[in-house]
Amino acid sequence: MDIPSNVEKFVQVSYISQNWPVQHVAASQDGMYLAIAGLHGLILYDIRLKRWRVFGDVTQEQRIQCKGLLWLGKIVVICNYVDSSNT
């Protein structure tokens, strides 16, 4: 995958540094998208456009504890763990 260096640095700072280590990576069936889940959160990469899609709300992103990840067509399915002691 050809990721420009400035995008790679952006992802390391805004996502990877907050959510290391990477837990799951899944490619869409057509190979056009990647979904990457770290310790918390989820980030999507459009290979054709070479663009990352991230959550706008970091609080929501930090609630995601991905335990499984897959694509159904253009839909990302996440198996999310919810800590019931915090509810």
> pLDDT, tens digit, for every residue of 62-86?
888 999 999 999 899 999 998 776 5
Query: Would you list the domain boundaries of the chain?
Result: 5-86
Q: Taking residues 6-35, report their average pLDDT.
A: 76
Q: What is the pLDDT of residue 33?
A: 92
pTM to 2 decimal places: 0.77
Res. 41: pLDDT tops 60: yes
Hey, what are 34's tokens?
């990647």
Q: Cα–Cα distances in Å, from 5 out to 1, 10, 11, 14, 86? A: 12, 9, 10, 14, 39
